[in-house]
Amino acid sequence: MEERDKGGVDISVVVPLFNEAENIPELYRRLTSVLVGLKRGYEVIFINDGSTDNTQRVLEDIFRGDERVRVIELRTNFGKAPALSAGFDNVRGNIVLTIDGDLQDCPEDIPRFIEKIDEGFDIVSAWRVDRKEPFLTRRLPSCIANWCIARLSGLDLHDFGNAYKAYRAEVVKGIKLYGEHHRFIPALAKNFGVSVTEIKVKNEPRRHGQSKYGLGRIPKVFFDMLTLKFLLTYSTRPLHILGPIGSFFGVIGVFLGLRLAYLKIFYGEQLGTKVSLSVCVLCIFLAVQIITSGLLAELLVRIYYESQGKEIYTIRRILEHST
Ligand code: UDP
Ligand code: MG
């Protein structure tokens, strides 16, 4: 593959690091030996996500001895998704590969990712076939999340949770990652017509240090999935979902109101004590609230896309004759 004029960088490896000092030397050694073996221009971008251990010192030592290494030090701990985002904003290569810094992913698998990108895929995702992690706290929740994300997004991957992935650079450029959204890049990208495949990889237990996540991640992932569903389906047309919900309550409210009016006029009933009066008022109130939120959301969508010059479509290529 031709190398473009970016200092000869073809492959950019992005590694988010939060307190991984003990893992970095071996990671660096194995990454380098694999990448040199590929015989293509590469860079390794280490993102120090506000580590409080020796991570920065270890990275600086490596940086001094290797001009293919870049280090981005964040001011504090922002989380893995923003750390990856910082990497994406600075990559120079045509292919971007993200890998965890804890040696759970084996750098030796990298050539297989690159092969798939060379075959023409835009995203290559890793599927950890033999995960070395506890079943109840890790594999089971992850299994449920994978199932849900696959259903929600219509993208049939086995393993969304792993950050070990390769991307054609234009896919990740400009992607801003909120919450735990790094796991949703393929799902979001698929929506824009990007081709996604997966390869099976080995997974090792963590050597040093501790996982930064526990069961506390579950509710976050749940709400992120809700956002994903919304982004995938209604992000350019929020009133299409909020409108019907608001109207539903509106119809019930109006129906109850008419019935109450009928009872009052023709039978002179006292309405003050009726439960249906409260329900009627509540429904109409809800309807107005929800529909107004929908209208506000429509405004927000326009601000979101137009203020950032974002398009609501993506073009793969334009063929045209020069004039
Ligand atoms: N990480 C990070 N910022 C954080 C938490 C984690 O950059 O706030 C990095 C961490 O150093 C590692 C990767 O993200 O390289 C995955 O983290 P971890 O191994 O703790 O997650 P798990 O494998 O348990 O999902
Ligand atoms: Mg890990």
pLDDT tens digits for range 287-298: 999 999 999 999
Residue 265 CA to ligand 2 centre (angstroms) = 69
Least confident of 77-86, 154-163, 171-180: 171-180
User: For residue range 17-34, what is the model confidence (pLDDT) as tens digits?
Assistant: 999 999 999 999 999 999
List % helix, strand, coil for the chain (3-state, nearest 5): 50, 15, 35
Kind of pairing between the strands at 123-128 and 165-168? antiparallel
The reply to whether ligand 1 has any atom less than 6 angstroms from the CB of 177 is no
Write out the DSSP string of 165-224: EEEEHHHHTT----TTGGGGHHHHHHHTT--EEEEEE-B----SS--S--TTHHHHHHHH
Q: Ligand 1, closest atom to CA 100? A: 15
Mean pLDDT score across all residues of the chain:
89
Contact yes or no for 179/227 (Cβ under 8 A): yes
Ligand nearest to the CA of 14: 1
User: For residue range 185-242, what is the model confidence (pLDDT) as tens digits?
Assistant: 888 888 778 899 999 998 888 888 888 777 788 888 888 888 888 888 888 899 999 9
Contact yes or no for 126/199 (Cβ under 8 A): yes
d(CA 122, CA 99): 17
d(CA 43, CA 39): 12
The pLDDT of residue 2 is above 70: no
Residues forming beta bridges with residue 124, ordered by sequence position: 166, 197
The reply to whether ligand 1 has any atom less than 6 angstroms from the CB of 211 is yes
User: For residue range 268-285, what is the model confidence (pLDDT) as tens digits?
Assistant: 888 888 899 999 999 999
Residue 15 CA to ligand 1 centre (angstroms) = 10
- The domain segmentation of the chain, as residue ranges, is 11-233, 239-304
User: For residue range 107-142, what is the model confidence (pLDDT) as tens digits?
Assistant: 999 999 999 999 999 999 999 988 888 888 888 888
Contact yes or no for 130/158 (Cβ under 8 A): no
The CA-based diameter of the chain, rounded to the nearest angstrom, is: 92
Burial class (CB in 10 A: 0-12, 13-18, 19+), 214: exposed
Contact yes or no for 96/167 (Cβ under 8 A): yes
Average pLDDT over residues 140-157: 89
Which of 98, 100, 105 is the pocket-test mutation for ligand 1 (most atoms within 8 Å of CB)?
A: 100
Class of domain 11-233: alpha beta
285-298 residues labelled b (16+ CB within 10 A) or e (exposed): ebbeebbebbeebb
Output the CA angle 291-295-298, nearest 5 degrees. 135
Look at ligand 1, atom 2, and give the residue with the nearest C-alpha: 80
The reply to whether ligand 1 has any atom less than 6 angstroms from the CB of 16 is yes
Among 55-64, 148-157, 299-308, top mean pLDDT goes to: 55-64
Q: Residue 3: what pLDDT?
A: 43
Residue 240 CA to ligand 1 centre (angstroms) = 37
How far is CA 264 from its chain centroid? 55
